[in-house]
Structure 1
Amino acid sequence: MKILIVEDEVKVARFLRRGLEGEGYAVDTAADGVTGEQKVRTNSFDLLILDVLLPHKNGFDVLRDLRTDGIVLPVLMLTARSSTEDIVSGLDSGADDYLTKPFSFDELLARVRSMLRRSASRTELRVADLVLDTVSRKAQRTGRTIELTTREYTLLEYFMRNEGKLVNRQQLARDVWGYDFDPGTNIVDVYVNHLRKKIDAGFPSRLLHTERGQGYVLEHRPGVK
């Protein structure tokens, strides 16, 4: 599970990062609203911990813009302000939960675990600007619908659920095609190439990468076109 912490107080950010990494979560941080929003838009996170009072762009505005653009990851807002008005503003902006400073790490951890459990059954997968709806079985990138065959959909869902992980041909043959052995054909490579053309061709950045002699990785790599 990957968590992004957007917090400008260095000590608080370090405290949260150490604690969450100690619980086995992968953690990234940002110290201002603009950088945090950009990281959400170009990476895939399972949870966002978002402070309200941030440099350059406050947490309310960051969250409101993310929600307006259809980004649905769970968000826990942090603030030193405990007024009902502030809490309502956060929830109206699209926050899933709200925690007032100071708080104990155990309290934050309980909120994080609860939110991740609730989101485990989510029906939308997202890698950068690529979105897959697992109910309608439709894919979109930058708002453009991508037509997929049944096998291409299954392959894309597998890659998206394994974002950032290197998967080899044997794994794909087993998990996508149901083969318990090497089928002895290039069927995996053919389908991966077809899928790559559909999700990458004509878009500003490449998401499906080939690691020669090893396999494939679906992830956003800044600067790779």
Structure 2
Amino acid sequence: MKIAIIEDEIGITNFLKQGLEEEHYEVVTANDGEKGWELIQQSKPDLILLDWMLPKMSGIELCKKVRLTDATTPIIFLTARDTVHDTIEGLKSGANDYIKKPFSFEELLARISIYFRKNTEASQLTLGPIAMNRLTHQVFVSEREISLTQREFELLYFLMKNKGTVCTRTQIIEEVWNIHFEYDSGVIDVFMNSIRKKLNIPKEQEFIKTIRGIGYIAND
């Protein structure tokens, strides 16, 4: 698992890097917000440790920028700011967690392990004969592997992740396409047709149902 540390205090960065590498994590680092953004784009970390007060681009700004294109990678703020207002602002910007400096390294390790465990659990999904591993980007139907495009994969993942719940067309467009304005949702049907053809499951046994005028629901 790869962890990105975006922190301008070299002493803290070196301390965290050494400790995390001893725990067998891969660690990449940057010491300002702009370099942090470049690092995240290039290295695709599995978790981000983010300082609030950064040169060139604040942690809050960087967090919001990451969330425009990545809604899932865990982000943990490391900061001396500890008012309720600060906590709320950090979480509203898209962070998953908030640890006040100075902090226990053991506590940080525990928080990290929780998010990696959650990600692993969420990455392995099933729907009838369909099995998906989000980490390896593999989809199987009764042990037969099928090939999906990135968008098809993301659409199927969203429906499987929300199994048992009707996913509206608006929700799908916003979450899968990241479009938050009026848009022709007919594109969803095109991708669903392609997914169904690749899954090759008889219509009477389909596990993803169309809810006319509303959206789709995945159910075993």
Taking structure 1 as the reference length, the TM-score comes to 0.57
Cα 1:126–1:11, aligned 2, differ >3 Å: closer, same or farther?
Answer: farther
- Who is 2:72 aligned against? 72
- Who is 1:117 aligned against? 117
- Who is 1:62 aligned against? 62
Cα distance in 2 for partners of 1:84, 1:126 equals 39
- Who is 1:41 aligned against? 41
Amino acid at match of 1:64: K
- Who is 1:89 aligned against? 89
Asked if the contact 2:29–2:39 (Cα under 8 Å) also holds between the matched residues in 1, the reply is no
Is 1:26–2:6 an aligned residue pair?
Answer: no
Measured after TM superposition, the shift of residue 42 of structure 1 is: 2.4
- Who is 1:100 aligned against? 100
Cα distance in 2 for partners of 1:99, 1:69 equals 24
Amino acid at match of 1:27: V
Moved more, 41-50 or 54-63: 41-50
- Who is 1:50 aligned against? 50
Cα 1:119–1:8, aligned 2, differ >3 Å: closer, same or farther?
Answer: same
Measured after TM superposition, the shift of residue 104 of structure 1 is: 1.3
Asked if the contact 1:5–1:30 (Cα under 8 Å) also holds between the matched residues in 2, the reply is yes
Deviations 1:158-181 (A, max 9, x none): xxxxxxxxxxxxxxxxxxxxxxxx
Deviations 1:37-69 (A, max 9, x none): 122122221110001000100011101111122
Cα distance in 1 for partners of 2:97, 2:80 equals 15
Measured after TM superposition, the shift of residue 34 of structure 1 is: 1.0
- Who is 1:192 aligned against? none
Deviations 1:9-47 (A, max 9, x none): 000000000000001111110101111112212222111
- Match runs of 1:123-202 below 5 Å: 123=123, 132-133=153-154, 135=157, 150=198
Amino acid at match of 1:110: A
Query: How large is the RMSD of aligned CA atoms in angstroms?
Result: 3.0
Cα 1:142–1:68, aligned 2, differ >3 Å: closer, same or farther?
Answer: closer
Higher helix share: 2
- Who is 2:12 aligned against? 12
Measured after TM superposition, the shift of residue 122 of structure 1 is: 3.6
Taking structure 2 as the reference length, the TM-score comes to 0.58
Divergent runs of 4+, >4 A: 123-127, 140-143, 145-151
Asked if the contact 1:44–1:126 (Cα under 8 Å) also holds between the matched residues in 2, the reply is no
- Secondary structure in 2 matching 1:120: helix
Measured after TM superposition, the shift of residue 80 of structure 1 is: 0.9
Cα distance in 2 for partners of 1:70, 1:44 equals 10
Measured after TM superposition, the shift of residue 72 of structure 1 is: 2.1
Structure 1, unaligned stretches of length 5 or more? Answer: 152-225
Amino acid at match of 1:115: Y
Measured after TM superposition, the shift of residue 70 of structure 1 is: 3.4
Cα 1:20–1:30, aligned 2, differ >3 Å: closer, same or farther?
Answer: same
